[in-house]
Copies of this chain bind each other. A is one copy, B any other.
Amino acid sequence: MPPTRFVYLGPEGTFSEQALKTIPAAERGVLTPARSVPEALDALRSGDADAALVPLENSIGGQVGVTLDELAGGDPLMITREVVLPVQFVLAAREERPLDSVRSVAAHPQAGAQCRRWLREHAPGATVVDVLSNAAAAIGAAEGEFDAAVCAQIGAARYRLHVLAKDIADNPNAMTRFALVGRPGPLPPPTGDDLTTLAVYIAHDRVGALLAVLTELSVRGVNLSRIESRPTGERLGRYVFFLDCGGHVADLAMGEALQGLRRICADVRFLGSYPRAVNGDPPPRPAPGLADGDFADAAAWLARLRAGETS
């Protein structure tokens, strides 16, 4: 069997590559950077790659809109795994040098923003210059264009930079969440602590329709760990909602909730059921009457009623 061909949001040396390398299967795979999320997912859709690793959201910067848009449109794709990675920025330079000698620092605007306080305190003499990616920052430092770069550990390593300081993000708990995406096919089996991602289009009246969507979930005890809106592009005020729901499409509760959404929404795109990344929290416990066993018991009861029995 040929090795799996993985594509990831490049360039090399960014957090996406680092995230991909946490996946065991990636060790025996072929890893190729893509210049953009659309390019990564196009490679997957065209069959040039077997799986793509792209960022979904960041606990500081929020949604990665382009990923959401690419998943909502085009040929259907499915998330098969999530990877949650702590965001650990380093300040790196071509050679070891004292921090107070740093005059210019290259940084992607979001990275700069996430390290602003640290930079002001520890490198007060440095001007921060915006560049287009974390890797571009590392390259700029490696080529001597800037005294230093804010980048990922993996980027410093790849461009042979010296790490002047580690863990320089102002918020030490910052995380980025990535999705491993594949073409439609057999789903990962339920594990008892899964997520299901959906893109949901609703029509017209916003409060009523969104309330109806949430009610379909709530009635079946399906929890929501994320809701994001993205414009549909038609006009201001038209959105598609991305929902991360607790549970697997194979679960009875989720199955019933999905059918409800299918009935009342203008459109629902199923974007995958996959194990929740371990985050130390215990898996959520269903409310009374809303465990899978309760659904099975109610289905058996209904079958008896339909057969003319009474309980």
CA distance in complex: A60, B230 (Å): 8
The answer to whether residues A236 and B311 also contact, given A206-B223, A260-B219 and a CB cut-off of 8 A, is no
| Chain B residues whose C-beta falls within 8 Å of the C-beta of A309 in the assembled complex | 184
Interface residue? A297 (CB, 8 A): yes
A223 touches B235 (CB 8 A): no
Interface residue? A32 (CB, 8 A): no
Chain A residues 199-213 with CB under 8 Å of chain B are 205-208, 210-211
Min distance, Cβ A286 to any Cβ of chain B, angstroms: 10
Interface residue? A237 (CB, 8 A): yes
Taken together, the copies of this chain in the complex come to 4
A305 touches B258 (CB 8 A): yes
User: Range of interface residues on chain A?
Assistant: 35 or more
Interface residue? A278 (CB, 8 A): no
A184 touches B308 (CB 8 A): yes
Name the segment of A14-22, A44-52, A169-177 touching the other chain: A169-177
B211 touches A84 (CB 8 A): no
Interface residue? A191 (CB, 8 A): no
Min distance, Cβ A121 to any Cβ of chain B, angstroms: 18
Min distance, Cβ A264 to any Cβ of chain B, angstroms: 5
Chain A residues 84-120 with CB under 8 Å of chain B are 84, 109, 113
B228 touches A207 (CB 8 A): no
A214 touches B217 (CB 8 A): no
> Which 4 residue pairs across A and B have the least CB separation, nearest first?
A76-B310, A259-B298, A263-B289, A262-B298
